[in-house]
Amino acid sequence: MELLHNFPLIAALCAIVTAQIIKVPIYLITHRTWNVGLGFSTGGMPSSHSAAVTSLATAVGLRNGFDSSSFAIAAIVSAITMFDAAGIRRHAGMHASLLNQLASTFPNHPFQGQHKLKELLGHRPSEVFAGACFGILISLLLHYGLAADY
């Protein structure tokens, strides 16, 4: 039961779940079509990974102080996660897209009949930034408004 009173954990989980949920209506507004699967997938606007780690870091800072060692750890993990989402994972998705296109041009390639590689892996920098802002906002709302008793 103590786990339910862990403010940084609750804030991070709220941020990641909420970010995943709002991907669907954002996609509907921007693309004029439903993609419910995006709520259970990587990629898209906003980055739920960025939301989770920035919410965690913000909650740790609010709880333990922004000069604490635990905040420093959370902040560095956040920076690495967001760099990875916008860099390495995004480029891996771009490579997957190119490989899928290349494979489709060769009808008798060795992987014929295999599933296509997943292309939506990472995020554009704007999606990472939006996720980071969203995560910070979630922690601030939970701390100062909605659940100040954590």
pTM for this entry? 0.75
Give a yes or no: residue 16 inside a domain.
Answer: yes
Residue 109's pLDDT is what?
Answer: 65
> Residue range 7-22: average pLDDT?
94
Report in angstroms the alpha-carbon separations of 5 from 2, 61, 147.
5, 16, 10
What is the extent of the structural domain holding 6? 2-87+122-146
**60 pLDDT exceeds 90?**
yes
Q: What is the mean pLDDT of residues 91-99?
A: 71
| H-only helix segments in 1-47 | 7-31
In a domain, 48, yes or no: yes
Number of domains in the chain: 1
Percent pLDDT > 90 in the chain is 42
Higher pLDDT, 25 or 90: 25
Structure tokens at 91: 């480029």
Residue 103 resides in a domain: no
Reported confidence tier of residue 122, pLDDT bands at 50, 70, 90: low
Q: Indicate whether 102 belongs to any domain.
A: no
Q: Is residue 117 part of a domain?
A: no
Neighbours of 5 (CB within 10 A): 10
DSSP summary character for residue 110: T
Q: What is the pLDDT, as a whole number, of residue 138?
A: 96
First to last CA, the chain: 13
> Mapping DSSP to helix (H, G, I), strand (E, B) and coil, where does residue 23 land?
helix
Look at residue 74 in the predicted model and tell me its pLDDT.
Answer: 97
Rounded Cα–Cα distance for residues 130 and 121 (Å): 17
Contacts of residue 103, Cβ cutoff 8 Å, sequence gap at least 6: 109, 111, 116
99 located within any domain: no
* The pLDDT value given to residue 50: 94
Higher-scoring residue by pLDDT: 43, 81:
81
Residue 126 included in any domain: yes
The answer as to whether 60 is a domain residue is: yes
